Amino acid sequence: MTHDIVRSFFLETVSHQLGIVPIKKIYFDYNRILADLPPEEARIAKRKFRKMWRKFAAEMNAKRAGRKYLKASLGIGAESPTRTQKNARKTIVLGKLLEKVVVPMRNAVNS
């Protein structure tokens, strides 16, 4: 239980520092949270998320060149991604944030 609380704390802190809405639950509709923000802040948060998503998608595409499921499952190149594709994108951003930022921070604190 403590591990989850620490992970959640680090994830929220990092998300706020990066300027994106913290990803607590993948299936939660973040448009509700963005609707509570001033329009300019919501626009910036969306842009930062999309920038992170594109960066991580490019990394995945480079590692898995030639796989067509990326386009279908993540909506790469789609004009309007489906809810499932958006959830998959949130899952990837959350996983990469944990892998690249939160876990190293937690390990530094624990050592």
Please report, in tens digits, the pLDDT of each residue of the chain (111 residues total): 566 777 777 777 878 788 888 777 777 777 888 888 899 998 998 899 889 888 888 887 767 655 666 777 787 777 888 888 888 888 888 888 878 776 677 677 676
DSSP assignment of 70-104 equals HHHHH-TT-SS--HHHHHHHHHHHHHHHIIIIIHH
C-beta separation of 17 from 7 below 8 A: no
Give the integer Cα–Cα distance in Å for 78 and 81: 6
Domain residue ranges in the chain: 2-110
Give the integer Cα–Cα distance in Å for 60 and 63: 5
Distances (CA, A) of 19 to 49, 52, 92: 8, 11, 17
